Amino acid sequence: MTASTNAFDPIAFAVPREGAPGFPSTPFWVPTHDYHTAGEPFRIVPPVDGAIPAPTPGLTVRARRDIVAAPTHPVNTLRIALCQEPRGHADMYGGLITAPNDAGAHFGVLFFHKDGFSTACGHGTIALGFWAVERGIVPAPGDGTVDVRIDVPSGRVTARVTMSAGKAVSADFVNVPSYALATDLPVTLPDGRELRADIAWGGAAYAYVHAPDVGLAVEPRNHDAFVRLGREVKAAVGDRGRWDGYELYGVSFVDALEGGEGVRERNVVVYGDGNVDRSPTGSSTAARVALLVAKGQLAVGSGSLENQSIIATRFIGVADATAPSPTAFPAVIPRVTGTAALVGECRWYIDPQDETFPGFTFR
């Protein structure tokens, strides 16, 4: 197998170009650094030469996202090749490192999953904090904290990495302003069942449903049922879940946990088209914090949300500050704490002549 590592530079493609070349017709290799955050995969595609690209004046990460999301765009084809089978699976997730909006951030990222490019990703931000200090992209002290500033489609976020004895041990995802969009919306499932949903924004819009209302415990054995219900709730919420030009991204099925300090919940988020988050979902935890503040169950600067995932990993969410709100509900700056870990370094061979190219999934 002979193929150049540098045959395809996806970052160079994430700019508007007249007559831009399409996807390469010959095979090439793509290196990735693969992490998990609370069990959720995060496949990082670093720049081909290792150096963070310089900003393109006037071109934001949000604009780059909208460019590469076009169905025939070569970076969209690369997303499918890296995310779907045979190199990934229906619940794979990752991020392609790109230029920041300006010199105020260390780098930008285009988040991707099996269905497209998302606007927000808390678990990915936490993984990127670990990646940036472990790769020396952002210098870190042996002990203490360091802020990794990252431009994402929803705005500028921070991964505040805590270091101990030279190792990254946890990271805070400090999000864009987050706020409730609606509470107690009636939702009718295809079988006629009536539910109530709250909607909130944490860089992406989420609907929150009580898991007991659909008769399911938030446990791995129920994941297929949650996939079906997630799709049904998303369709039933419809345009009522649209915000900032984007459709409802995910549905969180929430169960209250007994005892302990503060608010304790276990949830599973079904995002995109039926994708199951193994982590508690960072951006949804952030939106949930804002929702709990709106409902008087958390306060800015006091109290916390312990948010567990379907596999019982956890994030801790707090509201650090208030922010101007574009809705009738209060806006807050949420901070969500979790941990990530390297699981491998890969070198993927992409052959456009392969019979399964660019990829496939069963759902």
Q: Which helix (H) or strand (E) holds 290?
A: helix 282-294
| Amino acid at position 119, single letter | T
| Cα–Cα distance for residue pair 363/354, rounded to 1 Å | 21
Which three-class secondary structure state does DSSP give residue 191?
A: coil
Contact 152, 246 (CB under 8 A): no
Residue 75 CA from chain centroid, whole number: 18
| Cα–Cα distance for residue pair 323/332, rounded to 1 Å | 5
* Interacting residues with ligand HY3 (CB under 6 A): 40, 93, 118, 120-123, 271, 277, 279, 281-283
Least distance in angstroms from the C-beta of 313 to ligand HY3: 11
* Dihedral, 302, 303, 309, 311 alpha carbons, nearest 10: 120
Least distance in angstroms from the C-beta of 242 to ligand HY3: 17
Contact 316, 305 (CB under 8 A): yes
| Amino acid at position 228, single letter | R
Least distance in angstroms from the C-beta of 75 to ligand HY3: 18
Of residues 93 and 130, the one with the C-beta less far from ligand HY3: 93
- DSSP conformation letters of 45-111: E--TTSSPPPP-TT--HHHHHHHHTSTT-HHHHHHHHHHSBTTS-TT-EEEEEE--SSTTSSEEEEE
Least distance in angstroms from the C-beta of 58 to ligand HY3: 27
| Cα–Cα distance for residue pair 104/102, rounded to 1 Å | 5
Length of the chain: 363
- DSSP conformation letters of 128-146: HHHHHHHTTSS---SSEEE
Of residues 77 and 313, the one with the C-beta less far from ligand HY3: 313
Of residues 41 and 55, the one with the C-beta less far from ligand HY3: 41
121 a catalytic residue: yes
Return the active site residues. Answer: 121
